[in-house]
Structure 1
């Protein structure tokens, strides 16, 4: 009886070991696969066998099974017992892929990419197709999570060469989502082959200023690239554009205050809006007609909408007043689609017909977090104004920064000018070391997030230098830039990096030059409002597009515009730095 049991156990072990291996080639080594066995059975047999390679194969199989069962902690423990350097190449690729998948489960894309940097992965094209696909997939996911959007698209294009049917279609949709998220400048970078085709399609769609132009551009691209995967099966989001193009916009209501405290802001917005309208006319387009309404004389928003409906209005742009936007946001629905030029408080979802757009400081705070993360920084200090505005800006920065794994090690709320120097010292936590009388700064703060006026920044930067902390980079919102051309002021802020609207950084833009020639104030800080007016006009015909295609962006003059799930327009901004009294444009954040 005992002999029979021993024979049965031996046969089971042999079957289990055979089921755990497949052999792509003798030189590459056998590959594990998940057998019909439990996790505990695999680990038991791995401990029982005296063959190191078989033991490693069983543990790799057990790791794979634990991942499939979403037991990632156990998978980490098992994989740690596998001697990677002693494995054959195919097994090393498999183990590296498992390690990358586990790193992604922890939201650590850089660790995933490091795992896939093992020398054995250079032989991936010699591996079985299913392993190639799996490795390409996790690398693409890691690259995307790390902000390397173009590289992620390139990885998926490579992966797509081995796919057919529904997996190929799904991968193509993912490629389109990645490429469509690239800025226009990056899309213009020459790229050969299939990826170059995807990029030229995305550029054609982005470059069109109307839905009809987009349709024409897509049709022309398909005619020029008949064998490209996107020509054979158009991405689902582009198919939706055909439906949107069949609903032309013919009349817009511009609802802005003509009197009161916001009159000057309103004028800049209106002038920018109409400048874009006239530019569309000059380009031979057939833009919608514009009818003006004075929101400062409104007694009832419901009465306004009734009048606008009677006038044949299809879209309302405005109001600007936050109190009116708040009223609109609590409506169950609106009779006319509306692009408000401000944001309601609280971030609550409004009616389906309400979209909101403005120059939100929160956008810039998030932009600082994204830029610092892209620059490889992980720990921050922060200086923001005392009060509700500063609290909102700090929260937006904190949420975005911590979501990307960053930490905030110190915060100071700017209040009175006389206290500013001491607040700078408190933030960097200067202290004497050993017997030295020379102070030193804390070493756990890699940069400072700054939301401050130019006058405050003029005081803060020299104080950092005085406090032996001048080497701490400062990343600021646009509020530090007065755009008045004062080189002496700029020199006091030397080295500060800040995000800013394309309107103020790209002075060669033809529309900006036309507007500034007519209204010189548009070349200064008021230019941000002119840019917002221009972009409100661009958005007016593309709200449906952004809602239907959430990965799409519009390269506007107030920033690169996208829509969040609550139908609020968010801006991403280019960057500049004060260098020897000049404003120097910085390269865009890498994708």
Structure 2
């Protein structure tokens, strides 16, 4: 948002430096001129003007000058004194554009878009290009801030021919950032056209579909050969220039640091097998993957000694450790000798050395994913059901923070107790006991039997659920019994056992849940190969195999993700991106239990 406003300010400044005087047709009217007087002088002149049109032009100039001087409160006050509907079209466009800019200064993109919906905007292309550039700029910024990424990109493509110099370069980079943020399915659809935006989309798709940095470079070169006259071919976006620099530093040796004994050995084995399966596939595809050396963290006596051995062996990247205490030790250091991708997370808020990256199947990611999906589906008021204990507290905290930060309301939360108490908890959550009490009171007042079915509270749009399969099997029928069966339930993946048990799935009919692509999209050849060799990878344990494969995919691209924060890797454990504190975050696809089956749901825009 801040970046968009900075870009908007730069573009507007470029427009304001040019004289805005115009000589359009009399039906359009005259645009305000670049003022050479103070705000007070302009307002004094407006007060003594002989014609209303002249007074309006002077007030528009005064309001614009106040906005330029960042006195937006005064600019809004002056603009309110200008009767918009009595102006000529050119002046209406100017006033509507200024109103949109002021709305954006208040972080109100919807108000900005409303201002830009005035009928006079239909004649924008008849006005001088400086005014066109200014209007397109604020509309693009408003669309982006409102989450309309594609529309914002389209607006900036229209804006591009109107700009020169630094403003043109800034807009060029903004187009790329917007297009690169679109999901692959949308890019595929756009790229089928033959206009400038289609070219941008096909470039973004080529970069997204390529795996390694080397493959991305080849894809970019091939695209440039096919689109030699496209603006992005003539001036490659800066993030793609950075990719070329990163590709010149190949990764040749990786240390895999995992426990071979102890309570995490089975988890580590699944991670290792997934990792090595991806390595084997790269070899079979004719690539030149890095050499892998495995170290046993369960026999580790000193992290310093391990790093000395790894350096002596020529290791450039460490994958691991898995054990949380070791990850916390690494996080406490100011520097690491070798870049390290830990397969777990340190405590939230703990500082990290710049060489440490962290990746895991964090339940907090899924809580945030529920927040995103429910918001995209139009939900606003939530209730939560989470297990008792530290894990449930962490998941609830992550959901609450994300949900409330995006404007949602968490009305109530219950920690799931023993089965015998579950019905009581849900009844309290939906205030059914109060409803029953009212019915009894009515019976007492009127006498005799009164038919009154208890009614639940109506201010809960959906339930956020984090639960095991066994807990979820009890919760959905209990909701039905407690007159709340129509309330949508959005859940984390923890309720999905991937067992294929139709009876279990029937008990959870209607529940929507996020899940890894590994368990929802089973047609991938690498997945099929892994499941043939390790059948347990087809069940819930498959999430760990997926994480191991994704760790292999992340290995050569950590610097890329750090340099290009908007980059995403479409992995088997989710759509992967990097947070500012160098934690890999996952966004997940969605499914729903329906008639005893798992039904994949369409993706929503990110």
Residue 20 of structure 1 and its aligned partner are, at CA, apart by 9.7
Residues 553 and 85 of structure 1, relative CA distance in 2, 3 Å threshold: same
Q: Distance in 2 between matches of 1:470 and 1:114?
A: 39
Verify the 8 A CA contact 2:20 2:130 in the aligned structure 1: no
Residue 138 of structure 1 and its aligned partner are, at CA, apart by 2.2
The structure 1 residue matched to 2:561, chosen from 525, 540, 546, is 546
Aligned to 1:247: 249
User: SS at the partner of 1:169?
Assistant: helix
Tell me the alpha carbon deviations over residues 139-191 of structure 1, each in whole angstroms, 9 at most, x when there is no partner: 22222223322222222111112122221111111111122222323222224
Verify the 8 A CA contact 2:256 2:292 in the aligned structure 1: yes
Verify the 8 A CA contact 2:319 2:342 in the aligned structure 1: yes
- Counterpart check, 1:585 vs 2:600: yes
Verify the 8 A CA contact 1:147 1:590 in the aligned structure 2: no
Verify the 8 A CA contact 1:348 1:566 in the aligned structure 2: no
Tell me the alpha carbon deviations over residues 271-295 of structure 1, each in whole angstroms, 9 at most, x when there is no partner: 1111111111111101111111111
Residues 6-405 of structure 1 mapped to structure 2, 5 A cutoff: 24-33=24-33, 35-43=35-43, 46=46, 51-189=51-189, 190-405=192-407
Q: Distance in 1 between matches of 2:49 and 2:484?
A: 60
Aligned to 1:15: none
Verify the 8 A CA contact 1:501 1:559 in the aligned structure 2: yes
The structure 2 residue matched to 1:569, chosen from 561, 567, 584, is 584
Residues 81 and 479 of structure 1, relative CA distance in 2, 3 Å threshold: farther
User: SS at the partner of 2:162?
Assistant: coil
- Counterpart check, 1:532 vs 2:547: yes
Verify the 8 A CA contact 2:253 2:317 in the aligned structure 1: yes
Q: Distance in 2 between matches of 1:440 and 1:45?
A: 66
Residues 515-530 of structure 1 mapped to structure 2, 5 A cutoff: 515-530=530-545
- Counterpart check, 1:481 vs 2:483: no
Residue 28 of structure 1 and its aligned partner are, at CA, apart by 2.5
Residue 47 of structure 1 and its aligned partner are, at CA, apart by 5.5
Moved more, 577-586 or 382-391: 382-391
Verify the 8 A CA contact 1:20 1:58 in the aligned structure 2: no
Aligned to 1:16: none
Verify the 8 A CA contact 2:367 2:395 in the aligned structure 1: yes
Aligned to 2:465: 450
Aligned to 1:412: 414
Residues 64 and 392 of structure 1, relative CA distance in 2, 3 Å threshold: farther
Tell me the alpha carbon deviations over residues 523-576 of structure 1, each in whole angstroms, 9 at most, x when there is no partner: 111111111111000000111111111111111111111111111111111112
Q: Distance in 2 between matches of 1:150 and 1:64?
A: 29
Moved more, 376-385 or 304-313: 376-385
Q: Distance in 1 between matches of 2:80 and 2:426?
A: 45
Residues 93 and 374 of structure 1, relative CA distance in 2, 3 Å threshold: farther
Aligned to 1:469: 484
Aligned to 1:555: 570
Moved more, 230-239 or 61-70: 61-70
- Counterpart check, 1:494 vs 2:496: no
Q: Distance in 2 between matches of 1:499 and 1:35?
A: 57
Residue 24 of structure 1 and its aligned partner are, at CA, apart by 3.5
Q: Distance in 2 between matches of 1:62 and 1:365?
A: 49
Verify the 8 A CA contact 1:428 1:441 in the aligned structure 2: yes
Verify the 8 A CA contact 1:20 1:61 in the aligned structure 2: no
Gaps of 5+ in 2: 1-18, 443-450
Verify the 8 A CA contact 1:183 1:555 in the aligned structure 2: no
Q: TM-score, normalised by structure 1?
A: 0.90
Residue 237 of structure 1 and its aligned partner are, at CA, apart by 1.5
Verify the 8 A CA contact 2:153 2:178 in the aligned structure 1: yes
Tell me the alpha carbon deviations over residues 249-308 of structure 1, each in whole angstroms, 9 at most, x when there is no partner: 111111111111111111111111111111111111011111111111111111111111
Tell me the alpha carbon deviations over residues 184-221 of structure 1, each in whole angstroms, 9 at most, x when there is no partner: 23222224311111121122222222222222222222
Residues 262 and 168 of structure 1, relative CA distance in 2, 3 Å threshold: same
Residues 424 and 212 of structure 1, relative CA distance in 2, 3 Å threshold: same
Verify the 8 A CA contact 1:143 1:149 in the aligned structure 2: yes
Residue 522 of structure 1 and its aligned partner are, at CA, apart by 1.1
Q: Distance in 1 between matches of 2:153 and 2:274?
A: 36
Q: Distance in 2 between matches of 1:82 and 1:457?
A: 60
Moved more, 477-486 or 110-119: 110-119
Q: Distance in 2 between matches of 1:472 and 1:62?
A: 54
Tell me the alpha carbon deviations over residues 452-482 of structure 1, each in whole angstroms, 9 at most, x when there is no partner: 2223323333333334333332222212222
Q: How many residues align?
A: 573
Residues 110 and 300 of structure 1, relative CA distance in 2, 3 Å threshold: same
Structure 1: 4+ residue segments shifted above 6 A: 433-436
Q: Distance in 2 between matches of 1:50 and 1:426?
A: 70
Q: Distance in 2 between matches of 1:70 and 1:423?
A: 53
Residue 74 of structure 1 and its aligned partner are, at CA, apart by 4.0
Residue 109 of structure 1 and its aligned partner are, at CA, apart by 2.9
Q: Distance in 1 between matches of 2:129 and 2:480?
A: 57
Residue 80 of structure 1 and its aligned partner are, at CA, apart by 4.2
Moved more, 26-35 or 490-499: 26-35
Moved more, 313-322 or 464-473: 464-473
Verify the 8 A CA contact 1:21 1:57 in the aligned structure 2: no
Verify the 8 A CA contact 1:34 1:64 in the aligned structure 2: no
The structure 2 residue matched to 1:503, chosen from 510, 515, 518, is 518
Tell me the alpha carbon deviations over residues 106-157 of structure 1, each in whole angstroms, 9 at most, x when there is no partner: 3333333333333333333223322222222222222222332222222211
Aligned to 2:10: none
User: SS at the partner of 2:255?
Assistant: strand
Q: Distance in 2 between matches of 1:277 and 1:393?
A: 33
Tell me the alpha carbon deviations over residues 386-410 of structure 1, each in whole angstroms, 9 at most, x when there is no partner: 3322232223223322332223222
For the aligned residue pairs, the C-alpha RMSD in angstroms reads 2.5
User: SS at the partner of 1:540?
Assistant: helix
Moved more, 527-536 or 123-132: 123-132
